[in-house]
Amino acid sequence: MEEKEILRQLKTSFFQLYGEGEVRIFFAPGRVNLIGEHTDYNGGHVFPCALTIGTYAAVRLREDRRVRFSSMNLQAGEITEVSLEEAFEAKTGDWTNYPKGVFWAFEEAGHKIESGMDLLYYGNIPAGSGLSSSASLEVLTGLVLKEMLGLKEVSQQDLAVLGQKAECDFVGMKCGIMDQFASAMGKKDAAIFLETNKMEFDYLPLALEQAKIVITNSLVKHELASSEYNVRRQECEQAVRFLNKELKIQTLGQLTCEQFEEKKHLIPDEIIQKRAKHAVYENQRTIQAVEALKKKDIEAFGRLMNASHISLRDDYAVSCPEIDVLTELAWKISGVQGSRITGGGFGGCTVSIVKDEAIDTFQKEISKAYEEKYGKVPEFYIVSAGEGAHEIVND
């Protein structure tokens, strides 16, 4: 659905649900990560860009302290209503935990929420696709609170931090900062090279020399993601403890590959050693990939993407058979510069760099082979990097 039509439907439904009157509309995008996977909570580098799909919210303040949440993606007219106090506490296991978690994170950080509000959401990121629908919902809710309540002290970057806090400490998925950061700080036609330790970042134009970024959705929902994700995180923390018998590091991102090779014998558990190897090597690959992009060496960038996938598949064990099939098919097609799993893993999407003239073949060949094997046709999205979270005015 075109944005114009989304906005029209959002307003019509908002008025039907909550009555006619003033309304403001906000948007926060999803993201795709080009390289640097499972490095963010390891103090390493990531290289995502914001998408042009994401989550919208129509909002109006209320006179009282009630908050009403509804979503156009669910049963029409279904409303979850809570008092402000309940919004800070309740964890009922439904989708409103994401926005509620942000209300809670704002309060925890000392930003007072003194007014109730009516909210209607609509998202066009396919659910469970690993393109950060939850981060976009969190960052969006943060932006709504900042703008509707006039919280000038909250910066765009704070929206990322508060969204991450909601996800980690309210929802319980111990994620890194990448998704919320990309959603809050994205820039049109650029990817973000972010160092997650000092939170230093740079925007790089996505100049791909007659090629495009293509996302392929395996249609496998990444349901295992949060539990296995938390396990991976613990395994990396365990690796740091082993290495610190001789080293003094806080995160795996502090090590070069050579330093890791020299000290890896300190990690007695083979599986934990593999996890650590991925975190260290993937961080170095991300730095190299950005160097390659700066030199317009897209082939080198693509080779690093492929290596990233192999490492995520074999050492980090966050891929799945369907995604491996998608990448292997892509690697065989001439004109594909690189292809890998993107996001948290266990399903979701691959990201590929495909030369313009090969895009048709890419979609046809992969659809055919994937359908033959799994009985379903994957979805493709050609990416343009979009702006971070913002209000939509004067549509």
Which residues are identified as catalytic? 179
Closest approach, Cβ 114 to ligand GLA, in A, equals: 31
Give the footprint of ligand GLA on residues 333-352 (CB under 6 A). 343-344
358: region left, alpha or beta (phi > 0 left; psi from -120 to 50 alpha):
alpha
Give 3-state DSSP helix, strand, coil % of the chain, rounded to 5. 45, 20, 35
Minimum Å gap between C-beta 106 and ligand GLA is 20
Select the span of 34-42, 71-79, 262-270, 297-305 touching ligand GLA (CB under 6 A): 34-42
Q: Which of residues 166-195 bind ligand GLA (CB under 6 A)?
A: 175-176, 178-179
Asked whether position 40 contacts ligand GLA by CB under 6 A, the answer is yes
Q: Which of 102, 101, 14 is nearest to 59 (CA)?
A: 14
Give the residue with the Cβ less far from ligand GLA, 86 or 237.
Answer: 237
Q: Name the minimum Å distance from CB 21 to ligand GLA.
A: 36
101 in Cβ contact with 150 (< 8 Å): no
Query: Considering beta carbons, is residue 175 or 359 the nearer one to ligand GLA?
Result: 175
In the complex with ligand GLA, the residue whose CB is nearer, 44 or 116, is: 44
What CA–CA distance (Å, rounded) separates 167 from 165? 5
**Total residues interacting with ligand GLA, rule: CB under 6 A:** 11
Which of 220, 203, 137 is closest to 386 using CA atoms? Answer: 203
- Single residue of 38, 100, 278, 309 touching ligand GLA by CB under 6 A: 38
Burial 131-146 (b: 16+ CB within 10 A, else e): bbbbbbbbbbbbbbbb
Nearer residue to ligand GLA within complex by CB, 175 or 385: 175
Of 277, 244, 248, residue with least CA distance to 260 = 277
Nearer to ligand GLA, 128 or 335 (CB): 128
- Joined together, the tokens standing for residue 139 give 């960052």
In the chain, the largest separation of any two C-alpha atoms, in whole Å, equals 67
Which residues in this chain contact ligand GLA in the complex, by CB under 6 A?
Answer: 33, 37-38, 40-41, 175-176, 178-179, 343-344
